[in-house]
Amino acid sequence: MPSSPVPEEENPDQDLLPPSAIKPTNDSSSSLYNSNINNLSSNNSGTSSPIQPPANIRRPSFGLNLLNSLTSSIRSSNSQSSQINPQPTQSPPSPLEASNIFMSNSPTIANLSNYASTTLYDEAMANAHRQHNHVNPRLSRHRPSRQNTLDANNPGAENNSSSSASTSKEKLNGMDKDGFFSVRLTPLIDHSSSASGLYFSPIIRKIKPESDISIGRYTEKNKAAAHAPQGSSAPIVFKSKVVSRTHALFHCNEDGQWFLKDCKSSSGTFLNHIRLSAASQESTLMPLIDGDIIQLGMDYRGGTEEVYRCVKMRCEFNKSWQRKVNQFNLEIHKKLKNLQIRDDDNTNTECAICLMKIEPCQALFISPCSHAWHYKCIRPIIIKSYPQFYCPNCRTMCDLETDLDDDD
Amino acid sequence: MATLPKRIIKETERLVSDPVPGITASPSEENLRYFEVTIDGPSLSPYANGKFQLELYLPDDYPMCAPKVRFLTKIYHPNIDKLGRICLDVLKDNWSPALQIRTILLSIQALLGAPNPDDPLANDVAQDWKQDEQKAIQVAKEWTEKYAVQK
């Protein structure tokens, strides 16, 4: 896979890398739009370019297009300008679809930024900065640019005045109360592609500073690791034959910065689609940041069989995935509660299926009869008879495919 | 045994902390999905003063399917057969995961107060019930006295 052709557009760092090391971004971007608009991906950078410095016009190498556009829309909505709107007009008519996707997302994000506390806003700004900053250094990791990359990881780094403060704050946030740092790995599955990676349930691991956690193939010997509870320090194992027994390792330093190293794997470790070392050669420690995409091995025999699939995963570090409830979440939750029939206060705030409370930041399903459950709880009932839905609470039969007319 | 779903734990806690009048349900110590249940006969029915023992089991896919409930005490009722099986819609097709142990037991109590011989499970009892309701009620009272009243 990594030997596929290089994307056509100009890549400033391209000459630093063997061409074979760059993976075409089509497949990551197609997963964002999950349709046949691969050819639009080159337009995406165009869509978001009007509000980005010229240096950033080149497409980020790993599916950050959406992120870019989101942070862009946050910035534009904060500066009280309607810069999102010009986008469709500036792009050729064909990517209108893609722009619409952004359009439908943008108002929500824009709302979010209105509601969000300043910290959230700062974070978003920092992220936006980070994107500008880190894209280049990351493509050329093998240059002595470790420091750059580390700086990019620290949102405050480019603002020297505030960097120390935000660093210490991040340390406090990253380490949990028992002194562990954590990583969460979620599978990167593209259902629209026939060669989607191996599926696995999200894995959460915690380790002490200055320690390692190994990544390798599932074998009889490390059986226990496969069933280790979330948040343990057990090795990370995958049931795929393209993963070597000792494939790679995560290292976490005393500041909570995570690194990845290829441990002489035979089929390679890829960080954001770039192979870290040749077959059976150890790589150096590569710094990692939230959202990095790691791939272990390559699909073998077309990846049609589950055990020959490579492992593609997105990593998040130090509990960054645990969203904090913000004002926006609370207000929306309040509005949702008002959407429901108020027959009894108890049924209003409780999911009738699991009997747990319905709270902000949970995935919910609201039926046409205005009852709500956790999506996870109601899903078996929805899929059993879809599109007919028989409300377990009030026994109303609803048609979930009803046309959504505005007429009456 | 696999871990008990939170829903079952919650329901059990609530059955203890906020019991239904006239109904007790306590989980067995070996299997927390198995409940020993007693239901008091409704006061204006032939089953008044009786304390009926039942067993209730929550299958693996509960609450997506109904609990299994059975009378252990002999009872003369057109919708309950001699094995104690109960003919009640909410235990079969009309089960909904929004129902709970509590609501199911209340439904069973209501069934004792309103026998329905037109949709029988125990055919012989239903036959008696339709032919001579007074006599059937008399038999039901005798059975209650004999099997369900603690001496």
Tens digits of residue pLDDT in A14-57: 444 444 444 444 444 444 444 444 444 444 444 444 444 444 43
What pLDDT, on a 0 to 100 scale, did the predictor assign at position A344? 54
Distance from CA of A224 to the nearest CA of B (A): 17
Average pLDDT, chain B: 92
Domain assignment present for residue B111? The answer is yes
- Check CB contact of A341 with chain B, cutoff 8 Å: no
Task: Indicate the class that CATH gives domain A175-317.
Answer: mainly beta
- CA distances (Å), A112 to each of A117, A278, A329, A339, A353, in order? 9, 44, 9, 20, 30
* Mutation target vs A (from B12, B65, B96, B100; most A CBs, 10 A cutoff): B96
Domain assignment present for residue B1? The answer is no
Average pLDDT value for residue range A87-109: 41
Domain assignment present for residue B103? The answer is yes
Asked if residue B63 has a cis previous peptide bond (ω within 30° of 0), the answer is yes
Backbone phi, then psi, for A98, in 5-degree steps? -60, -40
Domain assignment present for residue B106? The answer is yes
- B10: nearest CB among A355, A380, A381: A355
- The number of beta carbons lying within 10 Å of the beta carbon of residue A326 is 16
* Residue ranges of domains in chain A: 14-169, 175-317, 327-399
Tens digits of residue pLDDT in B8-36: 999 999 999 999 999 999 999 999 999 99
Tens digits of residue pLDDT in A359-373: 888 899 988 888 889
What pLDDT, on a 0 to 100 scale, did the predictor assign at position A183? 92
What pLDDT, on a 0 to 100 scale, did the predictor assign at position A195? 63
Domain tally, chain B: 1
**Which DSSP category does B148 fall into?**
I
- Check CB contact of A393 with chain B, cutoff 8 Å: yes
What pLDDT, on a 0 to 100 scale, did the predictor assign at position B2? 65
Q: In what order do the strands lie in the sheet with A293-296?
A: A203-207, A181-187, A311-317, A293-296, A269-271, A274-275
Fold of A327-399: Herpes Virus-1 (3.30.40)
User: Could you report the predicted ipTM of this complex, rounded to two decimals?
Assistant: 0.81
Average pLDDT value for residue range A280-294: 91
Tell if the CB–CB gap between A352 and B6 is shorter than 8 Å: no
Tell if the CB–CB gap between B7 and A355 is shorter than 8 Å: yes
Would the CATH topology of A175-317 be identical to that of A327-399?
no
DSSP-derived secondary structure for B45-91: STTTT-EEEEEEE--TTTTTSPPEEEE-S---BTTB-TT-BB--GGG
Q: What range defines the domain where residue B122 resides?
A: 6-148
Query: Could you tell me the CATH number of the domain that includes residue B22?
Result: 3.10.110.10
Query: Which residues lie closer than 8 Å to A65 by C-beta, 6 or more apart?
Result: A29, A32, A41, A44, A45, A48, A59
Q: Is B76 left (phi over 0), alpha (psi -120 to 50) or beta?
A: beta
How many whole angstroms separate alpha carbon A365 and alpha carbon A359?
A: 13
**Which DSSP category does A7 fall into?**
P
Query: Which residues lie closer than 8 Å to A6 by C-beta, 6 or more apart?
Result: A14, A19, A22, A24
Distance from CA of B94 to the nearest CA of A (A): 9
**Which DSSP category does B94 fall into?**
T
The four Cα atoms A106, A108, A111, A115 give a dihedral, to 10 degrees, of -130
Residue B121, SS3? coil
- Contact between A102 and A47 under an 8 Å Cβ cutoff? The reply is yes
